[in-house]
């Protein structure tokens, strides 16, 4: 395994893809700065990484609050002298037809999945520009590639992020900035555990359990994108189970 001398901040780092990415990158030599709302889980994760000889810090982070992202980025710079990569991984999923008019759920997905990414960009972009390099790696979804009933708002937020990253890429072709969209399919995470409708939740959980791949697979894909030379940009990666339709 190659040594990855990067400083990487990760949102949504307390479980699933975020946790797996933290462990994978730290094992490869990166310094990781972990953000999530569940600090008890972050405490345990940081302790594990440090016990294995890795470098890790944490900050309680709610991506819907711009100041939290600013604090996460500042922690990376203060502790390690720079920030090379921001992995925007925090996300929520609610499954329901549009006609259900679950406006509060719509707001939650927009606030976390879209506004949370924007807050990360606003916090890290000035640092990347000052440094002369930086990399945004953002978890999107195959839900934006194959549109299905019940996921209109979720897929809409993910495709908004996909569009945002592509526009940012086109605005940043001076060699300073890299952007990567990671689109996972079914992955064994807690993403659908908070779907309110019991039937929808059970169906989604069953699909995750029977088809889902390990979060470690997505973490390896993220590591692959990050470890490329600075003049190479992996714009988008789709990673799904081989049996996913």
Per domain, the residue ranges of the chain are 7-239
Position 195 scores a pLDDT of: 60
Nearest Cα neighbor of 32 from 12, 125, 40 is 12
Query: Exactly one of 88, 154, 213, 234 is catalytic; which is it?
Result: 154
The mean per-residue pLDDT over the stretch 224-243 comes to: 94
Task: For residue range 165-186, list pLDDT tens digits in order.
Answer: 999 999 999 999 999 999 999 8
The CATH T-level fold of domain 7-239 is Rossmann fold (3.40.50)
Please confirm, yes or no, whether 186 is among the known catalytic residues. Answer: no
Position 207 scores a pLDDT of: 66
Mean pLDDT of the residues in the chain: 93
Position 200 scores a pLDDT of: 65
Residues 111, 234: Cα–Cα separation, whole Å: 27
Residue 197 pLDDT class (50, 70, 90 cuts): low
Position 82 scores a pLDDT of: 98
Nearest Cα neighbor of 187 from 2, 3, 20 is 20
The mean per-residue pLDDT over the stretch 45-69 comes to: 98
Residue 219 has pLDDT above 60, yes or no: yes
Length of the chain: 245
Give the predicted TM-score (pTM) of the model.
0.92
């Amino acid at each position: 395994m190659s040594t990855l001398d990067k400083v990487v901040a990760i949102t949504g780092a307390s479980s699933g893809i975020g946790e797996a990415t933290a462990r994978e990158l730290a094992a490869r030599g990166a310094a990781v700065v972990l953000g999530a709302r569940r600090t008890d889980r972050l405490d345990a994760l940081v302790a594990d990484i440090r016990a294995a000889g890795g470098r890790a810090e944490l900050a309680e982070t709610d991506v819907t609050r711009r100041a939290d992202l600013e604090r996460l980025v500042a922690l990376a710079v203060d502790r390690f002298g720079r920030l090379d990569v921001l992995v925007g991984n925090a996300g929520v999923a609610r499954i329901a037809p549009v006609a259900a008019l679950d406006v509060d759920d719509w707001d939650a997905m927009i606030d976390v999945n879209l506004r949370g990414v924007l807050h990360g960009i606003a916090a890290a972009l000035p640092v990347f520009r000052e440094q002369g390099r930086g990399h945004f790696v953002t978890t999107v979804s195959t839900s934006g590639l194959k549109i299905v009933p019940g996921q209109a708002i979720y897929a809409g937020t993910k495709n908004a992020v996909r569009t945002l990253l592509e526009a940012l890429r086109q605005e940043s072709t001076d060699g300073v900035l890299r952007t990567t969209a990671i689109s996972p399919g079914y992955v064994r995470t807690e993403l659908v555990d908070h779907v309110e409708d019991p039937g929808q939740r059970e169906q989604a959980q069953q699909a995750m359990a029977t088809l889902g791949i390990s979060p470690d697979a997505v973490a390896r894909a993220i590591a692959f994108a990050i470890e490329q030379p600075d003049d190479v940009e992996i714009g988008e990666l789709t990673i799904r189970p081989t049996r996913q339709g």
